[in-house]
Structure formats: structure tokens, C-alpha cells
Amino acid sequence: MKKLADIKGIKKWVALLLTYAVVQLLVSLNIINDYIMATLTTICINIILAVSLNLITGFTGQFSLGHAGFMSIGAYTCAIIIMRYPSPVSFITGLFLGAIFAALLGFIVGLPTLRLRGDYLAIATLGMAEIIRIVFLNLDITNGAAGLFIEVQYTNWLWLFIFTTGTVILITNFINSSHGRACISIREDEIAAEAMGINTTKYKVIAFIIGAFCAGIAGALYASYFYFIKPDLFGFLKSIDILVIVVLGGLGSISGSILAAFLLALISSLLQSFPEIRMVIYAVLLIVIMLFRPQGIMGSKELSLSAFKSLGGIFERRNGGER
């Protein structure tokens, strides 16, 4: 048993390293050009955002509409730091500082609001993100509505790869630990969870803090790749975008979030050639997918061999869906 697990573990690391190396090679050969790289960056950032929101909403069952707010904290923190001290070291410092600030805010906001349920929590988190946006609109250091131009770019494939796989692996491990199960029990039945000795408030806040931390990282990666940030990039619509990825992939499925991040990027770029009706087609596609697969692409399952079979069910209309 032990040996088998080891071999599986080694295989996983080899596969990861190969993925990194192959993409890096394609980048060096310029087969992956700037356009593809930008798409890849967006996908990685969206994976980090979606997987971390999935921890909050899909696994812990807390409906949050403020994820873009946490992202913006990371983006601005990192941007301000690398504009002053442009160096890779300050990029990583800024990235972690941004993540820590986002996590702190998650703690401060989470403690009182996570007592709220369902719709109320959604509105409270929405309010929080709006407040953050308005603060950034009015601060001097963030240059208000005009936003910040960042003349340096530190986010590259190496960092994207490290932080994306890092987020996915750590959150997956968390979900499969006792602490993760405590979070999931809250989603399943909060009263029963409490009665079985789970401090539900604590674990909601923990999920919120981890989620906010990762969103902060995503923001920092964004700021030091795309050269420009402004408060409106991190508004309500951005939070909805992230939620769409999570719901589309499946609440409670990490691989679903990853798959959906790729799928939406793909759809988006295919639709580039129809700029006028792009958003309409995008919306219609979402509606259709949700009609035929209300539990998301993966439901709450993870990608595995047996899951491939159930993938075939995407276009089979389900009777009533799952709850």
C-alpha cells in the first residue's frame, strides 16, 4: 500500500514538472506567443480564484459575493510595492503581503458576517467588496479611478505555475484533512455539525481566511502581469465571474473549477471574432449549460476515470437534478 502511494505520488510530481517544462519550452520557442500567454495567465489566475471561492462556497457552503474585493487587496498591495521597488524579491514580498492583508480582512469581515446565513451573507460580502472598491477609488496612493500603471512585469510562467499548482494542491489537501471535513460538515448540516463538536463559526472563518489569502495571491499575479489595475476591475461583476466558474464547474469540485476555468477561457477566445454579440452568446451558453447540468460540469465529484463516464451525462437531461 505504502509503496503504491509513493509511486503514485512520484508520478504526480513528474507529470507536474513535465507540464511546467513543456510549456516553458513552448514559451522560449515563442510558439506560445503573447496572446496565448495572456490567456494562460488569465486561466491560472481564474483557477486560483475559483478554487479558493469553491472552498468558501462549494465546500463550506457560505455564499460569498466579495471575492473580487479580496483579489483587489492583493493586486493593489503588490502593485504599490513593485512600483516603488521594482525587483523580483519585492514582487514576492508584495504578493505575500497582499495575500496576508486580504486574509486579515477576511478575518475581520468574516467574524461578524459569517453568523449570517445564505442571502444575507451574500449581501454582506457584496457590501464589503463595494466598500473596498470605494476606498481604492478615493485613496491617493491608489490613484483613484484612473488606476495604476505598473511598468514592470514579474508574473511569468514559473510563478503562475508555482502558485496555481500550490493553491490547488494545498486546498485539495485541506479538503481531505479533518479540518476540511469540518468545513464540509457545515455545508451538509450546520446544526448537526455543531452538535458533533465542530466549532462552526471557527471553520467558516478559516475557510474565509484561506479563500481570501488565495484571492490576494491571484490579485498580485494579475497586477504584475497586466500592467494596469483600477478599482472597477474588481467590482461586483468580477465576483460574479468567479462565481460563474465555480458553479459551472460544480460546487464542491476542485477539478470542476479547473475545467470550467479552461472552458470559459476557450469560449471567450473563440468568441473574440464576434465582438458585438460575444456577451450575449456567452450568457446563452451559460444558461444552456445550467439548464442541462444544474449541478455543474462535475457536480461535487472529482475528475477520475469513473468520472469520465459521468461526464458523458452532460447532455443528458436529468430528472430534477440533485437537490
Query: Given the rule CB under 8 A, which residues bind another protein?
Result: 170, 173-174, 176-182, 184-185, 188-189, 191-200, 206, 300
The smaller minimum CB distance to another protein, of residues 133 and 187, is found at 187
Least Å from the CB of residue 17 to another protein: 19
Least Å from the CB of residue 181 to another protein: 5
Least Å from the CB of residue 237 to another protein: 31
The smaller minimum CB distance to another protein, of residues 53 and 150, is found at 53
Least Å from the CB of residue 9 to another protein: 10
The smaller minimum CB distance to another protein, of residues 9 and 88, is found at 9
Q: Which of 100, 54, 60, 97 is nearest to 205 (CA)?
A: 60
Q: Contacts by 131-137 with C-beta closer than 8 Å and gap 24+?
A: 131/69, 132/69, 132/72, 132/73, 132/105, 132/234, 133/69, 133/72, 133/231, 133/232, 133/234, 133/235, 134/231, 136/72, 136/76, 136/231, 136/234, 137/231
Q: Which of 170, 105, 110, 97 is nearest to 133 (CA)?
A: 105
Sorted by sequence, the CB contacts under 8 Å of residue 103 that are 6+ apart come out as 209, 210, 212, 213, 216
The smaller minimum CB distance to another protein, of residues 187 and 238, is found at 187
Least Å from the CB of residue 293 to another protein: 17
Residue 148 pairs in a beta bridge with 229
> What is the grid cell recorded at 247?
458553479
Least Å from the CB of residue 169 to another protein: 9
The smaller minimum CB distance to another protein, of residues 37 and 47, is found at 47
Residue 63 and residue 57: Cα distance in Å, rounded?
5
Sorted by sequence, the CB contacts under 8 Å of residue 310 that are 6+ apart come out as 299, 301
> What is the grid cell recorded at 287?
444558461
CA-based radius of gyration for the chain: 20
The smaller minimum CB distance to another protein, of residues 170 and 281, is found at 170
The smaller minimum CB distance to another protein, of residues 231 and 249, is found at 249
Least Å from the CB of residue 323 to another protein: 8
